[in-house]
Each structure stands twice: as structure tokens, then as C-alpha cells.
Amino acid sequence: MWQTRLATASLLLVVAHALNCPENYHEIGSGCVLAPAERLPALEAQSLCHDLQGELATLDRCDIFTDAVHYLEETGAMYNSYWIRGTYSVTRDEWQWRDGSVVAMGAPFWGTAGGGNWEPYGGDCAAIFNGDNPYMGAFGCIAEFLHICEGPPTAEGHCNLPFTAVGSQCLSFDSSARQTWEASRNICQADGGDLVTFDNCEQFGVVANYILEQDLQHMTVYWVGGYLVDETNNYFWLNNSSIPMGLPYWGQYLFENLGTLLPDNPTVERCLELGYEYRHRFNDLDCLELRRPLCMASPVE
């Protein structure tokens, strides 16, 4: 897994959070990376990443791969090779990342080189070759290459109980009795947080999918930290920045086979619910209805 560190965010009225990279690491959008200047065999590169509180990078997704390659293109000289954490397992006869997950073969990660053969061939350790067309290749692990560290630990362990790391956020899915929106907010604040808000659609997606995976949708629906501001007819996050309308945040209310985009009832429904009946999208709801608090807190060191 790509690892990120979340620095202690400023605790203003609103709980803020951000992807902050530790000293010397560079934020590349999908994570934090560092390419030390030493050329080392793969195992020693791994040790050096450990010394830097990181790991050799796992580039198991398109966005991470792309961001890391752009970083190398911007910072490194051409035609260098950089160790990453993929290794060939003889016992399982497959390429694995550090967590044992299988390295996807073929495009767009691995390249073809030397006579058009598809990588990986000719070695047991994976590296990025930063040529005119950066790709992953297999090399003998004793080759002395540069390397990409990712780091450091995930938000896990950086969330105080009762919060757990979900993507880049520390969340708690309170299972106590259903509450009004205001009472839910008070519960979150008593735990040092506030009702959850989302910075972008990706963050929202991570949380909605987590609810699905953990089967939390059967327990309840949740209050979210958004509300309608009287004079405006617009929904705002707790920090008073406006919530985008329409897709992909808001659900549709089906009535007589016609879908009405929510929110649809500003005179009565002035609080934000995350409801599975709306395909895990937002719904406007009367603030006095009872839902469970979905709380968010700042990650801690």
C-alpha cells in the first residue's frame, strides 16, 4: 500500500486535515516519495529507506505509478534506474509487492526492452528505468541502482481512538443511538472531532466504499458535516465553504419513476445525510431526524 503520513492538522473551529509529507519527502499527489542519491543493491536500498522511516516504493496503481514517474522525470537525470519494492517469489512463482499482493503484469507498468521481450525477465528485483519511456523492468538484485522510498507509515496508528484511519481521514462510525444532527455533532466534538466533511470526490468515494465493504450500511445512515444556510439555499461544510451541487455528491430521489436531483426540500430539510438508499450519496434531511454521527478527527503524530 502507498503510505502517507498525516501531520497534526491545525485544530481550528473546524477540523482540518492535509496530506503532509515528512521532512525530505516530496508530496506527489498520491503519496510521499524520496529518491536518495546513493546507488545500492536492492536489499541495501530497502534498508536505507527503512533508515529514512520509509519503505521501497510500492507502485501498484496507475496514479501512484504515474506520479512517481513524473517525480523522477522532474528531479532525476535520464537513464537512471530506481529500485522499487516488487520482487520475484520463487516459491509462488509470481511477482509480489511488499504486502504479498501480486504485481500486475504487462502494460502500462512493465516495458519491453532489448529485442522486444516483455519485462520482467532477467532478474528478481523490479526497478523503474527512467528512459525516454519510463517502464518497470526486472534486474539482478545486486545491481547498484538509485531507488524510490515511500513513506512513512499510513494514517493507521495516527488516529486516536475511537477514530480509525479510512483513506486519508480519521473517522469514527458511532454505533450508539441515533441522534439529531446537532446532538450528533456534539458527540463528535466530545471525542475531539466533528461531523465528517469531504475535500473532494475521491475522499468521499473512499468513505462511501468503506461503508459498503464493512457492511456498515445495514446499521444506519449517517449525518455528515453539511447544512443549509438560511438566506442562500446553498449547502455548506462546517467551515462555511460551499458544497458542490449535483453529481457526484448528491443522490436522486425517485418518485413515480422520475428522479429528482437532491437536495429537494430546502424549507424543511436543512442537514446533510449520507444515505445508502441514494447509492451512498448525499440527501437533505430534517435536522431533527435521527441518524448516527459519522465523525472525523485530525490525525495525530
Ligand X SMILES: *[C@@H]1O[C@H](CO)[C@@H](O)[C@H](O)[C@H]1NC(C)=O
Q: Give me the residues that bind ligand X (CB under 6 A), please.
A: 13-14, 16, 197-199, 237, 239-241
Residue 115 or 246: the one with the smaller Cβ distance to ligand X is: 246
Q: Nearest Cα to 207, choosing from 249, 157, 240?
A: 249
Task: CB nearer to ligand X: give 58 or 298.
Answer: 298
> Least Å distance between CB 150 and ligand X?
25
CB 84 within 8 A of CB 95: no
Shortest distance in whole angstroms from residue 230 CB to ligand X: 9
Q: Which is nearer to ligand X, 139 or 198 (CB)?
A: 198
CB of 31 to ligand X, least distance (A): 19
Least distance from C-beta 52 to ligand X, angstroms? 30
Nearer to ligand X by C-beta: 109 or 235? Answer: 235
Supply the minimum distance, in Å, between the C-beta of residue 204 and ligand X.
Answer: 10
Residue nearest to ligand X (CB): 197
Q: Which residue number, 24 or 241, has a Cβ lying nearer to ligand X? A: 241
Q: How far is the CB of 32 from ligand X (least distance, A)?
A: 20
Cβ closest to ligand X, residue 117 vs residue 232: 232
